[in-house]
Structure 1
Amino acid sequence: MSGRPSSYTPLDEIYKIHERTRQAYRSGRAKSIAFRKQQIAQVGYIIKDNEDRFIEASKRDLGRPPQDTIFFDFAGTYIDIKLMYDNVEKWTKPRRAGCNLNFAPMGPRVKAEPKGTLLIIPPFNVPVFMLMGPLVGAIAGGNAVVLKPSEKCPACAELITELVPKYLDRDMFQMVNGGVAETTRLLELQWDHILFIGSTRVGRIVAEAAAKHLTPVTLELGGKNPVVIDPRSDVHLAAKRTFWGRVVNTGQVCLCPEYVLVPKDFQDTFVEAVKEIHNFFFPEGPKRSSSYGRIVSEAQVLRIKRLVDGTRGTIVFGGDVDVSERYVAPTLVKDVGLDDVLMSEEIFGPVLPLVPVQDVEEAIEIIRSRERPLAIYVFSQDKVFLNQVFENTESGAAIANETVISAGVPGLPMGGIGPSGYGYTTGKEMFDQFTHIRVSLNNPSWVDKIGFGFRYPPYKKENEKFLRALSPALPPRPTEKTSATGNS
């Protein structure tokens, strides 16, 4: 293929990799909990032994400060490794299926079992966490995995491709590198589960390809995450955490705030607070700052530039772009209308539009009129205000007085709803989706002699009472009032 990088996996090799991985799964060695725990631990040491190399690779790919890599890539992955390692034995043990005297002699059980051979396609923006986190969830579930890292981060992809076969079972866990052609070939094959993290456009392609094989899919797709500002909130705190959430990792995080719904008569107050925070974060200017990264590619820089150039809002600061250096300045734009180009798509860059609103009711209506986002952020110390927003909107996460960090909080799964995705990419819920609940029971022959023989023909009228005894009592009948209103 003309212009195809030599590091890409040959297309005719992808089928062989798929088949080798399926055969490795069928060997049954991942049934062993000891094997799973050993492999989970090894994922941790892929990172721990090579942290400096990952920091350098991320700097080459994303112009990233070391702190962003440590915060986003290492910490979150170590949290999932610890969770899976400590709990895999408990989570995979058979457990009783409730308590019902009619069926107790049959010993009904449920057990989390592997789905099989999985395909994981992570994004470029958090290249370690978004690959290694799902990988440990898949390993804990007892699955074999093919990993396809993002071609937009070639240094990280090359490093991961080098290290995975050195640390992990070479047959159970394999790599495919490439772009559209290689991903298309992968999606033509039969998988037992696919996890894709990326854009909504590509997510639809993945879901459509998976549907041909009836393959279950996890999609984490981001979207335009709103921030709602209560004018009675701590404006300095709201400005600091919102602006940090917009510029950290240069705005290339699916959980970043995408726009701020701020009361019209409070907009200038908020603007002044953000300007102050900007100058504090980058006293020497963001372009020269060691705390500020770069956009992943020139193509993405040009896309963001098109959005900034096309806005009808007022650019308060920023707007500077250097395509050759993949640099987009932190940019604040006020007086942005709902029909503005900045509101037309996910910006996925360090540009923060402010959309003035009359009140919280208008803010809620705007959120409800748009596709459901991955997160909604609200800054307020008033529980009534917080509840008003969260109870009247839908999103993957509902976060008060903070942005972005929810994905790294132990016990909080990350996942979207509707167009922002479905399924989970962290935590126990991730393990659950990479396994299926297999039911079992063993019904002894003597059960038929003490009452369960009534189910066999020829049917007798007197046996109906035994059949009816299998059904539990219904809840109290609703009154006419509760039936009509749904309330007591």
Structure 2
Amino acid sequence: MSCNNLQYTPLSEIPEIYARVTKTFKAGTTRPLSYRRHQLLQLARMMQENIVTIEDALLADLGKQRQESTVTELTPIIQGSINAAESLEEWAKPEKPKVEAWRSSWDTTIYHVPKGVVLLISPWNYPIILTFLGLIGAIAAGCPTVIKPSECTPTVAAVMADLVPKYLDPAAYAVVNGAVEETKMLLDLQWGHIFFTGSTRIGRIVATAAAKYVTPVTLELGGKSPVIVSPDYDLELAAKRILYGKVQNVGQLCVSPDYVLVPRSVYKPFVEALKKTYASFFPTDPLDKESKWGKIVNEPNYRRVKGLIEETKGDVILGGKWDDTRLRVALTVVSEVKLNDPLMEEELFGPILPIVEVEDVDEAVQIVADRPYPLVIYTFSNSNEVKEKITNRTNSGTFVFNDTQMQLAVHEIPFGGHGESGYGGYMGKDSYNIFTHRRGYINVPTEMEPFYAYRYLPYSEESYKVMTQGARVKIPEA
């Protein structure tokens, strides 16, 4: 089968691919650190040597500008692959935990072992980075991987299918292209780990399929990531940084600012700041033929985004225009949005930014706390008190103070959801940890046998007193 000129992997080949990568894993091929390092550096080369090809593919599928493509999709993969290759020995080093004195001779160790063959299902909105960031961790952990790209970005998916076997070991890493049937067949197989990025609806399907084999899963989902603007912050700077986050990939990003909560005291000045920033970002109409403004990925999503603008009861103050021919929607800012507005029901995943007026920061915090945990909470404030309120009274995958999207540049902290926005964090070493089983080990010396006399049957009053001493330790005062 094929869709949009994308050649789907024949269903008959999927079991063969699975058998091949499984055989590679069982043979121990991916275990040596030298092998993993080579594959990681090959991944970096694959990105670097095909920058223009990948930019062209992203432009064709998403209308994404070249600078945005390389900065947000290719560069993190190149740098992340190199960082993982250089960190492998440290990450893979067995741990020697500190133990109680009576067990000090047991050689207690934690080994890091690969979980097994990985199924990596990636989305269409950032098809390169959200595929290969996960693959970096799988390679580093020693896990062969089957990649299932989104069929909604067919040009990118075809490029992946072409490049991956040229640069990576085809016995260990494979691309399966397709849609529902192909994905269902993949999910019917037993994996060492499943890594899924996409919608909450599909995430539930993936988790259900994984439960059949009790397979560990990482779900990177989404949700309505809020922005809170405190009156003490520079409103023009907040507006610029919020709109920057919203224009990336035309708002089709899981950590895109979804709605903004603004206290009444600064609501009107903030709206004016947004208008000023909007004019600087778009000196010409974003829907002009010469504009490089991106497009909505496909017709169904375009109709959904367009419908939201038509349905809102708020006041469209910026944008609000669309181009049916090219599937483009101008960045649209909507003021006077109420909490029961259609824009506040589900993740927008498009170029719409609702502005909600609240009484103060406390009301904003309560609104966020009452909703499902988002992937990220953005807050603009200079106040430590505000920061503590957000930290203590809300929850989310990550929490970003005074900017948007920049958490994606910090590989030293995990990126991931919480609750309905998913579970399992990755980036840097956390990507390695996701695909690694921490295997405990002890070696109990034979010489310990004289000390074990009381543990054997038959039990006696004396053995009871000796063996239950641990339950009678003195408990410290609170």
| TM score, norm. by length of structure 1 | 0.94
Aligned letter for 2:440? Answer: V
2:256 aligns with 256
Separation (CA, whole Å) in 1 of partners of 2:113 and 2:101: 27
Q: Does 1:359 align with 2:364?
A: no
Aligned letter for 1:41? Answer: L
Cα gap change, 1:294/1:358 in structure 2, threshold over 3 Å: closer, same or farther?
same
> Is contact 2:48-2:78 (8 Å) kept?
no
CA RMSD, 1 decimal: 1.7
> Is contact 2:73-2:128 (8 Å) kept?
yes
1:336 aligns with 337
- In structure 1, list runs of 5 or more residues that go unmatched: 479-488
> Is contact 2:64-2:249 (8 Å) kept?
yes
| Deviation of the 1:86 alpha carbon | 1.7
Aligned residue for 2:438, secondary structure, equals strand
Separation (CA, whole Å) in 2 of partners of 1:201 and 1:109: 40
Separation (CA, whole Å) in 2 of partners of 1:194 and 1:467: 43
| Deviation of the 1:471 alpha carbon | 6.5
Cα gap change, 1:290/1:426 in structure 2, threshold over 3 Å: closer, same or farther?
farther
2:395 aligns with 394
Separation (CA, whole Å) in 1 of partners of 2:6 and 2:261: 47
2:428 aligns with 427
2:284 aligns with 284
Separation (CA, whole Å) in 1 of partners of 2:79 and 2:421: 24
Q: Does 1:233 align with 2:233?
A: yes
Aligned residue for 2:146, secondary structure, equals strand
| Deviation of the 1:407 alpha carbon | 1.5
1:484 aligns with none
| Deviation of the 1:323 alpha carbon | 2.3
User: Which runs of structure 2 are paired with 1:358-377 in the superposition (5 Å)?
Assistant: 358-377=359-378
User: Which runs of structure 2 are paired with 1:97-108 in the superposition (5 Å)?
Assistant: 97-108=97-108
Aligned residue for 1:201, secondary structure, equals helix
User: Which runs of structure 2 are paired with 1:54-73 in the superposition (5 Å)?
Assistant: 54-73=54-73
Aligned letter for 2:8? Answer: Y
2:76 aligns with 76
Separation (CA, whole Å) in 1 of partners of 2:304 and 2:83: 39
Q: Does 1:303 align with 2:269?
A: no
Q: How many residues align?
A: 477
Separation (CA, whole Å) in 2 of partners of 1:121 and 1:41: 22
Aligned residue for 2:367, secondary structure, equals helix
> Which moved further from structure 2: 384-393 or 36-45?
384-393
Separation (CA, whole Å) in 1 of partners of 2:3 and 2:235: 51
Aligned residue for 1:257, secondary structure, equals coil
> Is contact 1:225-1:258 (8 Å) kept?
yes
2:8 aligns with 8
> Is contact 2:374-2:421 (8 Å) kept?
yes
> Is contact 2:187-2:206 (8 Å) kept?
yes
Separation (CA, whole Å) in 1 of partners of 2:405 and 2:21: 35
2:187 aligns with 187
| Deviation of the 1:462 alpha carbon | 3.2
Aligned residue for 1:286, secondary structure, equals coil
1:144 aligns with 144
| Deviation of the 1:358 alpha carbon | 0.8
| Deviation of the 1:472 alpha carbon | 9.5
The one-character-per-residue Cα deviations of 1:432-478 (angstroms, maximum 9, x if unpaired) are 120111111112211102x1332122334334454346679555133
> Is contact 1:102-1:470 (8 Å) kept?
no
> Is contact 2:316-2:332 (8 Å) kept?
yes
- In structure 2, list runs of 5 or more residues that go unmatched: none
1:116 aligns with 116
1:481 aligns with none
Aligned letter for 2:168? Answer: L
Separation (CA, whole Å) in 2 of partners of 1:426 and 1:235: 31
Aligned residue for 2:228, secondary structure, equals strand
Cα gap change, 1:3/1:146 in structure 2, threshold over 3 Å: closer, same or farther?
closer
Separation (CA, whole Å) in 1 of partners of 2:204 and 2:400: 27
| Deviation of the 1:2 alpha carbon | 8.8
1:317 aligns with 318
2:91 aligns with 91
1:467 aligns with 467
Sequence identity, in percent?
Answer: 40
Separation (CA, whole Å) in 2 of partners of 1:429 and 1:39: 19
| Deviation of the 1:265 alpha carbon | 3.6
Aligned letter for 1:201? Answer: R
Separation (CA, whole Å) in 2 of partners of 1:431 and 1:408: 17
Aligned letter for 1:276? Answer: K
| Deviation of the 1:264 alpha carbon | 2.5
Aligned letter for 1:178? Answer: G
> Is contact 2:121-2:149 (8 Å) kept?
yes
> Which moved further from structure 2: 141-150 or 404-413?
404-413
> Is contact 2:43-2:78 (8 Å) kept?
no
Separation (CA, whole Å) in 1 of partners of 2:49 and 2:187: 33
1:444 aligns with 445
> Which moved further from structure 2: 451-460 or 162-171?
451-460
Separation (CA, whole Å) in 2 of partners of 1:2 and 1:31: 36
> Is contact 1:221-1:419 (8 Å) kept?
yes
| Deviation of the 1:81 alpha carbon | 1.2
Separation (CA, whole Å) in 1 of partners of 2:124 and 2:463: 64
Separation (CA, whole Å) in 2 of partners of 1:173 and 1:230: 48
The one-character-per-residue Cα deviations of 1:51-110 (angstroms, maximum 9, x if unpaired) are 111111110011011111112102222332133112222222222132222112221111
Separation (CA, whole Å) in 1 of partners of 2:291 and 2:328: 13
> Which moved further from structure 2: 60-69 or 462-471?
462-471
Separation (CA, whole Å) in 1 of partners of 2:291 and 2:316: 24
Separation (CA, whole Å) in 2 of partners of 1:277 and 1:474: 64
Aligned residue for 2:357, secondary structure, equals strand
The one-character-per-residue Cα deviations of 1:113-166 (angstroms, maximum 9, x if unpaired) are 000011001111111111111101001111110000111111111111101101
Cα gap change, 1:472/1:381 in structure 2, threshold over 3 Å: closer, same or farther?
farther
Aligned residue for 1:222, secondary structure, equals coil
Aligned letter for 1:441? Answer: I
1:131 aligns with 131
Cα gap change, 1:89/1:469 in structure 2, threshold over 3 Å: closer, same or farther?
farther
Aligned residue for 1:325, secondary structure, equals coil
Cα gap change, 1:6/1:416 in structure 2, threshold over 3 Å: closer, same or farther?
closer
Cα gap change, 1:62/1:105 in structure 2, threshold over 3 Å: closer, same or farther?
same
> Is contact 2:230-2:262 (8 Å) kept?
yes
The one-character-per-residue Cα deviations of 1:344-387 (angstroms, maximum 9, x if unpaired) are 11111111000111111211221122111000011011111222
| TM score, norm. by length of structure 2 | 0.96
Cα gap change, 1:6/1:318 in structure 2, threshold over 3 Å: closer, same or farther?
closer
Separation (CA, whole Å) in 2 of partners of 1:475 and 1:117: 46
Aligned residue for 1:164, secondary structure, equals helix
> Is contact 2:5-2:154 (8 Å) kept?
no
Cα gap change, 1:151/1:459 in structure 2, threshold over 3 Å: closer, same or farther?
same
